[in-house]
Amino acid sequence: MERDDSQLIRDHLGGDERSFEVLMKRHIKAVYNFVYRLVPTNVDTDEIVSETFFKVWKNLKKFRAEENFTAWIFTIARNTAYDKLRKHRESVFSDFDTESGENFLSDTLADSEPLPPELFEKEENKKIIQELLERIPTAYREVLLLRYANEFTFDDIAKILGKPLDTVKSQHRRALILLRKMLASFGG
């Protein structure tokens, strides 16, 4: 029977070295994809992921069993990525942000029309979607990645980002509006 994260953590803290390896293999792909899409392409994703899991191992004793373990790992991954970006003096803000932190593309009413089906069908559109995602402000991008690529709840996202729940929901709404506009402007 496959052990859940809590059992693996207990086993590891009890002295079973292999349990941490199992934990890592279970979560490394999701973390890798999150970090890869969060940071600019010239930043070393492998190094950030390696540093993340090293920190997870070092701090495993501090993890509280009632918390969501996946959300905890993503918190560490996100903070590690931001530390790396700061070291490399990489901008964490988009060209679309104004000095006051507002984004002129996102401050409009939400459009509730469904997205055109061809977006999902054409193979070449996948690459374009990836590129559009890279152009979205990092603060919005991470909300979208956590919500849709990793299916976290807004509560978990708020904990991972260290932001109030209302802020996360607001950023989520703005991110969707911005992404929709970018998709529409690309489609012509």
Partner 1 sequence: MDKDFQKLFNTLETLEPKKGAVSAVLFRIQHHKRRIARIKFTLLGLSSALSAAAIFPVISYTVSGFVSTGFYQYISLAFSDGGAILPYWKEFIMTLAESLPAFEISLLLAVIFALLESLKLTIKNMPVAFYKFN
> Which chain residues interact with partner 1 by CB under 8 A?
20-21, 24-25, 28-29, 32-33, 36-37, 46, 49-50, 53-54, 57-58, 110, 112, 114-115, 119-120, 125-126, 129-130, 133, 144-145, 148-149, 176, 179
Reference 105, options 95, 114, 113; nearest CA is: 95
Q: Phi/psi class of residue 15: alpha, beta or left (left: φ > 0; alpha: ψ in -120 to 50)?
A: left
Which is closer to partner 1, CB of 41 or CB of 98? Answer: 41
Which is closer to partner 1, CB of 91 or CB of 126? Answer: 126
CB of 180 to partner 1, least distance (A): 9
Which is closer to partner 1, CB of 56 or CB of 158? Answer: 56
Give Cβ neighbours of residue 97 (< 8 Å, ≥ 6 apart): 103, 137
CB of 89 to partner 1, least distance (A): 25
CB of 33 to partner 1, least distance (A): 6
Are the C-beta atoms of residues 50 and 71 closer than 8 Å to each other? no
Distance CA 26, CA 20 (A): 10
CB of 141 to partner 1, least distance (A): 11
Which is closer to partner 1, CB of 79 or CB of 125? Answer: 125
3-state secondary structure 33-83: HHHHHHCCCCCCHHHHHHHHHHHHHHCHHHCCCCCCHHHHHHHHHHHHHHH
Which is closer to partner 1, CB of 54 or CB of 93? Answer: 54
Are the C-beta atoms of residues 9 and 19 closer than 8 Å to each other? yes
CB of 151 to partner 1, least distance (A): 8
